[in-house]
Amino acid sequence: MQEEPLPLRMTIQAVAFAAGKHRHQRRKDADASPYINHPIALAEVLSVEANISDATVLCAALLHDTIEDTETTVDELRDLFGDAVTAIVVAVSDDKSLPKETRKALQIAHAAALSHPAKLVKLADKICNLRDLLNAPPADWTAERKLAYFQWAEAVVAGLRGTHAGLEAILDDLLARADRLR
């Protein structure tokens, strides 16, 4: 049997790697959904909704929370997925040693200087998190907290504009639904 092309192999490897790293984690929704659903949702947005076929971007989406939220090291990612994927994941990872409010301010300040592929992953991350807040929000969040998150996300997205019209249109639709937050 013929071998799969390299990009598809790397993408499957990224799903499997992220699934292993996030295996004990859950999202904050009432059902405590498996965490891996979120990185897979980013890859689905980029592939299916935005028609992006670049495996470097799709792998970075699948791996985007491994450095921030698991014990994964930069060297580990570089060995398995190479410099391009690793650079994107590093660029979209918050420095967890900083206070939360600082991290949130830095996301706004740094958005415009991100590389094009990092901006694509960041746009998809915000799409998925806003959808979660509308459809499967953290059980204990008030409407005010969800709205504050929407407003912060809008400020981050302002720095990501001019990257992908389709993704930005999806975000605009979501941001326009902030008044439906309960």
Q: Can you give the binding site for Zn ion, defined by CB under 5 A?
A: 65, 125
Question: Considering CB distances under 5 to 8 angstroms, the limit depending on partner class, which of ligand NDP, Zn ion, none binds residue 152?
Answer: ligand NDP
Do the Cβ atoms of 21 and 70 come closer than 8 Å? yes
- Give dist(CA 182, CA 180) in Å, integer: 6
The conformation of residue 114, written as its DSSP 8-state character, comes to S
Which CB, 130 or 181, lies closer to Zn ion?
130
Q: Which stretch binds ligand NDP (CB under 6 A): 46-54, 113-121, 145-153, 162-170?
A: 145-153
The conformation of residue 4, written as its DSSP 8-state character, comes to P
Cα-Cα end-to-end distance for the chain:
53
- Give dist(CA 98, CA 109) in Å, integer: 15
Residue 68 a catalytic site member: yes
Residue 69 a catalytic site member: yes
- Give dist(CA 120, CA 106) in Å, integer: 18
Check binding of 28 to ligand NDP (CB under 6 A): yes
| Shortest spacing between CB 96 and ligand NDP, in angstroms | 11
Enumerate binding residues for ligand NDP (CB under 6 A): 27-29, 38, 65, 100, 125, 129, 132-133, 136-138, 145, 148-149, 152
Residues acting as catalytic residues: 68-69
